[in-house]
Structure 1
Amino acid sequence: LLALFIGGISLVPLLLIICSAFLKIAIVLTITRNAIGVQQVPPNMALYAIALAATLFIMAPVGHNIAEQVKERPLDFSNTEALQGSALNAIKPLQAFMSRNTNPDILAHLLENTQRMWPKERAEQASRDDLMLLIPAFMLSELEAGFQMGFLIYIPFIVIDLIVSNLLLAL
């Protein structure tokens, strides 16, 4: 049980990245830094610290709701099934957050692909609320949104670069 707990704790940083707004914020900040034209200012550590602070701000209501769920129905460590049930109940606010921020087209595409790629009995049980579909769909949605936002931020810098280069060539 201790090994399972330690293994679970080691996955927390990964879950922080893929189940929160961190990925989108980090992508937008990195693209913005590149658009400005500086490669290492601010350094990556500072960029990720800013992304982490913004993520904590964005995810605070979800964390509060998870804490409320755990207070109402504490985690039950008596057996595996009870632990799984209470953990699934505790993450319902996170699941709702991911559902709200997931592109429905991406989720539908992944749901269609389960019929082709997963074993038949598992594919028949798959639904839009299944974490095995919701987490990758959310992560892909965050990547897509992050790159779209970054692209929109990058465009004015390209226009400014073109105008300045044309003005300098005209001199």
Structure 2
Amino acid sequence: MYNRLFTLIVLALLLAFTPFAHAATATVATTSAAVTPIAPIAPITSSAGIPVLTVQNAGAGQNWSLSLQVVALMTVLTLLPAVLLMMTSFTRIIIVLSFLRQALATQSTPPNQVLLGLALFLTLFVMSPVLNRAYDDGVKPYMDHQISAEQAIPAAAAPFKHFMLDQTRDADLQLFTHLAKEQPYASKDDVPFRVAMPAFITSELKTAFQMGFLLFIPFLVIDVVVASVLMSMGMAMVSPSIISLPFKIMLFVMVDGWSLLVGTLAGSFYT
């Protein structure tokens, strides 16, 4: 699973930077006409792993496979948080979990490491069908030398785009389509990533805040009741949060809050 996830992220990054690479290539071609042109990179069949890449320059071949893999790895490690936030369910999950901790008023309990770990593994659970489809459609055929990199990148990226668009509200998609000065798209396949990503993030933020609001309501009722009781007893100097905290924890445990919350979060992506 983690090898598939790493390979899919590499392909997603290549997809994101393909326009910039073509622009850079065009600039070099126009400004450096005297330089000996470099032949296109062609994959060479290897027994296992990523196909070896060889650059032909003036008739001489040079193997850049290891260097390209190291550069790709460093790029993935640098941009992994941005990719994780833009293309997966991580945004909604971590925001809702943060709202829960604030509603309980437990300060740093659960700690940030626990919330991040739960959000990451829940994200892998939710995204596993998307990852498997992207691997089967794009990565595996490319690793088996059945399709080229130009065909593998859109094939592996298509499941992520469909997932994002399934979770995106029509109003958010129309907003960014208008901002991009594009015409309405006939199907999801026609929506580019530069429109799908910001629309998906905006829609995810709205959904997460709506779920956080619903989480706050029962705990807010407990705070109001406790504060009213303390005022009627003349104990205005006592902080209501100290008294209400055990009641909120007891309520959350009695209704099996963690299972209910995690199940609702996971199920919200399949409706």
What TM-score, normalized by structure 1, do the two folds share?
A: 0.83
Confirm or deny that 1:53 pairs with 2:121: yes
| Counterpart Cα distance in 1 of 2:87 and 2:202 | 11
Secondary structure, aligned partner of 2:108: coil
Q: Give the counterpart letter for 1:144 in structure 2.
A: K
User: Which one has more relative contact order, counting CA pairs under 8 Å at least 6 apart?
Assistant: 1
Confirm or deny that 1:5 pairs with 2:72: yes
What root-mean-square deviation, in Å, do the aligned CA atoms of Structure 1 and Structure 2 show?
A: 2.3
Match for 2:178 among 99, 106, 112?
112
Q: Give the counterpart letter for 2:120 in structure 1.
A: L
Confirm or deny that 1:73 pairs with 2:141: yes
Q: CA deviation at 1:8?
A: 4.1
The runs of at least 4 consecutive aligned structure 1 residues that moved more than 3 Å come to none
Q: Give the counterpart letter for 2:220 in structure 1.
A: I
1:42-81 CA distances to partner (integer Å, 9 max, x unpaired)? 111111101111111101111111111125631699xxxx
Match for 1:103 among 148, 152, 169?
169
Percent of aligned positions with the same letter in both sequences? Answer: 32
1:118-146 CA distances to partner (integer Å, 9 max, x unpaired)? xxxxx57x856110000111111111111
| Counterpart Cα distance in 2 of 1:60 and 1:146 | 21
Q: CA deviation at 1:91?
A: 1.3
Q: Give the counterpart letter for 1:51 in structure 2.
A: A
| Counterpart Cα distance in 1 of 2:99 and 2:174 | 29
Secondary structure, aligned partner of 2:180: helix
What is the total number of aligned residue pairs between the two structures?
159
Quick check: which one's strand share is greater?
Answer: 2
Secondary structure, aligned partner of 1:73: helix
Paired position in structure 2 for 1:169? 231
- The question of whether the paired residues in 1 share the 8 Å contact of 2:168 and 2:200 is answered with yes
In structure 1, stretches of 5+ residues that fail to align are 116-122
| Counterpart Cα distance in 1 of 2:176 and 2:74 | 28
* Structure number, greater radius of gyration: 2
- The question of whether the paired residues in 1 share the 8 Å contact of 2:139 and 2:152 is answered with no
- The question of whether the paired residues in 2 share the 8 Å contact of 1:66 and 1:93 is answered with yes
Confirm or deny that 1:150 pairs with 2:212: yes
- Taking a change above 3 Å as real, the CA distance of residues 143 and 76 of structure 1, as seen in their structure-2 partners, is farther
Alignment of 1:116-131 (within 5 A): 123=182, 127=185, 129-131=191-193
In structure 2, stretches of 5+ residues that fail to align are 1-63, 234-271
Quick check: which one's helix share is greater?
Answer: 1
- The question of whether the paired residues in 2 share the 8 Å contact of 1:19 and 1:98 is answered with yes
What TM-score, normalized by structure 2, do the two folds share?
A: 0.54
Paired position in structure 1 for 2:105? 37
| Counterpart Cα distance in 2 of 1:64 and 1:86 | 14
